[in-house]
Structure 1
């Protein structure tokens, strides 16, 4: 089953995608509400089908939290070289599937425009697949975690590389470098649809493709992840809760899953950073495609540099 959230004739609706049309759920139904009520496996009756050509697709859901992992070794190698000039993969990376929390308010739809982040001149895309949690759980094992997966969707972690490189020198990870936009879509695809792609290691062997202005710049397989989604969910739930609607990104795939990886490998910014007018299209086999165009953003609001204090005490 594929579930879409969309706008049609001024109304926000949610429904099941069937071919080139979507059958809406009753008014007021949304995906997060379905997940919270446990009703995704048995959705309410749907109304008359609406052609997808007549709707504007929105993010499948507004997630309460978004965790973004970094599960592709090849991506780490390339981006590390690009961002801070270091070679190889840190030993600590292999210890556990590391993630950071990103901004759920920055989520946009599969066809929405992406504004340039304020103050950035080095915008990049990141090709990922995300899993959406359907049942709450805590301290899950990887075996238990599979039953907590509601479905999968494409995930573009838009990144201002110049801002990211500077702020990560503080040692807390990215903030405004990742804060402007995160694309989710086009649909939530339930696990049964992707089960035929599962390999012997429990990974989904989905072909991934990244294009900029119609030119392919990256291809990979989702099965090149170093951890399964179930293992990442288990780690995320260690000592805390995962709850319905939580989104967990795979991290960026390798072999051109983002421009920064290519910059690190080539020693130059080829292809160049994204600029207004560029369109990025990401595709995942079995899930679909998302396509966003970069548009001008706003100027940054000035904030003073930190003040050096004399550290006087009472």
Structure 2
């Protein structure tokens, strides 16, 4: 299933799932209130509520079913409880560090590392992304995110799949010049990532990807285009650390809750920093950025002043 959050013509925000490529279900309306009207509450009882969705017969003329043309898709999880972003693709780590004259730290091969980003600055498909006023080096980052759907603590990597609800495309926008300066202090990115993180256009439940499992990831081609020009292309199967390993690391001595997001980090070639400004300039107002991942859709955003 593909879960979405959307705005209706009357301005009401609701959540539900896609029936097909042209229609969506308002899950609260279609279930006569048995299901909640937002995905955070849905995730708090995802196992119970997923079973209830199976019992809802949906016809295109049924109450609670809307043409997608009448809806505006929002970030599928507009208010996640937290957002951790990992650094899990070896090619990206190597290339990005080589461009700064650095080798890969040995510790990177010992554990999946992450930082916390601003979970209150989540944007969605079609949203305009303001370029930070004090930045000249705006970049996209082509990533995939997993959504936690079950509470757990000290989760083993082998058991972690039980705690994943689904996956979506993630664009970890980066103000590279701000990031470069602040990371000299040694605390990691902050204002360089603070302004926006985009997810969407929907969350695909994990069962839809099961047959594509390969290596530590899935056989999913990942692409990024700027103004229609293909700049980045990679595959999730090349990820060094699995989401199971990431969840295991994140949950050591910490309770994870439904509605938390974990990003994969950038796929190899998946940002301008890695490609180099000689391949493409930094992003400017008016640029259209499209991230595409097999089975997960296309996430489009335009940069503005």
SS in 2 for 1:111: coil
C-alpha displacement at 1:48, in angstroms? Answer: 3.3
Q: 1:171 aligns with which of 167, 178, 186?
A: 186
Q: 1:35 aligns with which of 27, 31, 43?
A: 43
Alignment of 1:234-313 (within 5 A): 234-254=248-268, 256-263=269-276, 268-296=277-305
| Number of the residue aligned with 2:3 | 3
Q: Distance in 1 between matches of 2:291 and 2:192?
A: 20
Q: 1:189 aligns with which of 204, 214, 217?
A: 204
Q: 1:24 aligns with which of 23, 26, 30?
A: 26
Could you say what the CA RMSD is over the residues aligned between the two structures, in angstroms? 1.3
Question: Which consecutive unaligned segments of at least 5 residues does structure 1 have?
Answer: 297-314
| Number of the residue aligned with 1:212 | 226
For the structure 1 residues 23 and 148, does the alpha-carbon distance in structure 2 shift closer, same or farther, using more than 3 Å as the test? same
| Number of the residue aligned with 1:75 | 92
Higher radius of gyration, 1 or 2: 1
C-alpha displacement at 1:23, in angstroms? Answer: 1.1
Q: Distance in 2 between matches of 1:232 and 1:286?
A: 22
Q: Does residue 1:60 correspond to 2:69, yes or no?
A: no
For the structure 1 residues 160 and 202, does the alpha-carbon distance in structure 2 shift closer, same or farther, using more than 3 Å as the test? closer
CA contact (8 A) 2:216 2:241 kept: no
How many aligned residue pairs are there? Answer: 288
SS in 1 for 2:95: helix
Of 13-22 and 45-54, more deviation after overlay is shown by 45-54
TM-superposition CA deviations, 1:202-232 (whole Å, max 9, x none): 5211100000000000100011110111111
C-alpha displacement at 1:269, in angstroms? Answer: 4.0
TM-score under structure 1 normalisation?
Answer: 0.89
C-alpha displacement at 1:143, in angstroms? Answer: 1.6
Question: Which consecutive unaligned segments of at least 5 residues does structure 2 have?
Answer: 30-35
CA contact (8 A) 1:34 1:43 kept: no
Q: 1:87 aligns with which of 102, 110, 129?
A: 102
TM-score under structure 2 normalisation?
Answer: 0.91
CA contact (8 A) 2:166 2:203 kept: yes
Instruction: List structure 1 segments (4+ residues) > 3 angstroms apart after TM superposition.
Output: 43-48
C-alpha displacement at 1:175, in angstroms? Answer: 0.6
TM-superposition CA deviations, 1:25-79 (whole Å, max 9, x none): 1255111101112344224547432121221111111201000000011111222
